[in-house]
Amino acid sequence: LSTTMLCSYKMSFDAWKTSYNLFINYKFNMMKLYCNLIMYLLYYFLTHNKMNIKYLLNIFTNPTIMFMYNKGLSFFMKKVSSLEVKMYNIKGLYASVNNFMTQRTHMTKLMKKDYTTNKMDNINMNEWLVGMTDGDGTFNVYTNMKNKKVIFTYKITLMSKNAQLLYKIKSYLGVGSVLYTDKNHPNLVSYLIRDRQLLLNNLIPIFDKYPLLTSKRFNYLKFKSCLLISQNNNLSQIDKLNKINEIKNLTLDHNYISDAWNPIKNIISENNVMNYDKLNIDHIMKIMTKSWLIGFIEAEGSFFIVKKSTLLKGDRLVHSFGITQKLDYIVLHSIKMLLNINSKIQNRKNYYKLETTNSQNIEYIMKYFRYSNYTTKFLGMKSFEFKIWMRSYYKYKNDYNKLNIVREIMRKSRYNT
């Protein structure tokens, strides 16, 4: 990031200031080791403008880079206090400084916090997981008639730079594996549960209590039925396979709506046609919770900056929020109402699209997904994207040149694996 971009005292952590305090105030060898790790990361960020954490970790043992670090550290320490604040999220762990004095010039006491843990305490993680699964999760059943075998897989697949989020899910559930499973797509990483007992004991209870809101509910119900059949000792293996294949061959109706929406279907249904204008916020909030929405936006939402052109104002860059879905109009309509978005849902040829650039809508969305201390409610890389998007709005709204730089930073970050 440029040294003049995206800096604010409002943010909940100050990585440069923390590292400086660590460096001059350490008392134990472990503190010194931690300091050097942080300082090395920040030095590399400063000199190479790299965003790929995995790449950074791979070059730690490079003698040339280590020489550059040792050579440049003294110069860096002279400059660090004059540089503006840089904001980074390293593997979800934030370093922060707790100011006991009201003046920023007074001595500060270091206080380390795991903000991710605090975030997880502030949301319903089961609902969040269901929202994430509605976005990026899959339930798969593989049958092999020749070998008479069945394999069950619950999987969430993300970009490799977001692997930290999958480890959080694994830690929360206490089961599963995080693997790079696709040789053709090495930039992807997956969280997997394959063991049938773990699926039955750890996963099924969550998705039964907190049903999926999208058409993935249909796939889940098929998955669960097949899983229960596989555990039925009264059936022969061949009978199990035949019944499982019958269920697998069931197809999804284009107008399918998850049974999670049953409590309000009678309100909006008129002669088998859905009238979504009858929905209100109270109806929706009973079904679509904030925790679910945070998880779903973590997977499916996009925060970006887009160019707009008008005859009166010419070219300008504005902040935008958007989601696209192939099915599940009811989900987009409910999100539109919860986030107070004025735009209409666009019905494209093969998908639905909800997008807004309205300033009031954007500000409402920013408040919805952040805490009062300006930390975000997202747990993965979406938090980083959201922070840049939000801070650039408050600092550089209507500044075309600076917003263009921010837009390029966001693009590189989004596609850099």
Reported as a pLDDT band with limits 50, 70 and 90, residue 28 is very low
Give the domain ranges of the chain: 15-113, 121-260, 277-415
pLDDT of 198 higher than 80:
yes
CA-based torsion, 140, 347, 130, 240: positive or negative = negative
pLDDT of 118 higher than 70:
no
pTM, to two decimals = 0.73
How far does the chain reach from its first CA to its final CA, in angstroms?
Answer: 17
DSSP, residue by residue, 234-283: TS-HHHHHHHHHHHHT----TT---GGGHHHHHHHEETTEE-GGG--HHH
pLDDT of residue 83: 37
pLDDT of residue 271: 76
Average pLDDT over residues 286-294: 97
pLDDT of residue 18: 38
DSSP, residue by residue, 182-237: -TT-TTEEEEEE--HHHIIIIIHHHHHHS--SSTHHHHHHHHHHHHHHHT-TTS-H
pLDDT of 235 higher than 70:
yes
Q: Which of 1-10, 55-64, 255-264 has the lowest mean pLDDT?
A: 1-10
DSSP, residue by residue, 378-412: --SHHHHHHHHHHHHHHHHTT-HHHHHHHHHHHHH
Q: Please, what is the angle between helix 163-173 and helix 115-122, to 10°?
A: 60
Average pLDDT over residues 106-112: 38
Q: Per the structure block, which two tokens stand in for 263?
A: 């409590």
Q: Per the structure block, which two tokens stand in for 207?
A: 């998705």
DSSP, residue by residue, 118-158: HHHHHS-HHHHHHHHHHHHEEEEEEEETTTTEEEEEEEEEE
Amino acid in position 117: T
> Which superfamily does CATH assign the domain made up of 121-260 to?
Homing endonucleases (3.10.28.10)
Would the CATH topology of 121-260 be identical to that of 277-415? yes
Q: Per the structure block, which two tokens stand in for 236?
A: 């022969």
pLDDT of residue 91: 36
Taking a C-beta distance cutoff of 8 angstroms, is the pair 355, 344 a contact?
no
Pairing between β-strand 269-270 and β-strand 188-193 as defined by DSSP bridges:
unpaired
For the segment 306-315, what is each residue's pLDDT rounded down to a tens digit?
999 877 778 8
Average pLDDT over residues 224-253: 97
Q: How many CB atoms lie within 10 A of CB 325?
A: 19
pLDDT of 71 higher than 60:
no
pLDDT of 262 higher than 60:
yes
Q: Which of 115-119, 283-287, 371-375 has the lowest mean pLDDT?
A: 115-119
Reported as a pLDDT band with limits 50, 70 and 90, residue 414 is confident
> Which superfamily does CATH assign the domain made up of 277-415 to?
Homing endonucleases (3.10.28.10)
For the segment 387-396, what is each residue's pLDDT rounded down to a tens digit?
999 999 999 9
Residue scoring higher pLDDT (337 or 374): 337
**pLDDT-above-90 percentage for the chain:** 59
pLDDT of residue 225: 98
**What are the CA-CA distances from residue 346 to residues 298, 322, 324, 362 (Å)?**
21, 11, 9, 18
For the segment 88-98, what is each residue's pLDDT rounded down to a tens digit?
333 333 333 33
pLDDT of residue 37: 62
Q: Which of 153, 186, 155, 134 is nearest to 325 (CA)?
A: 134
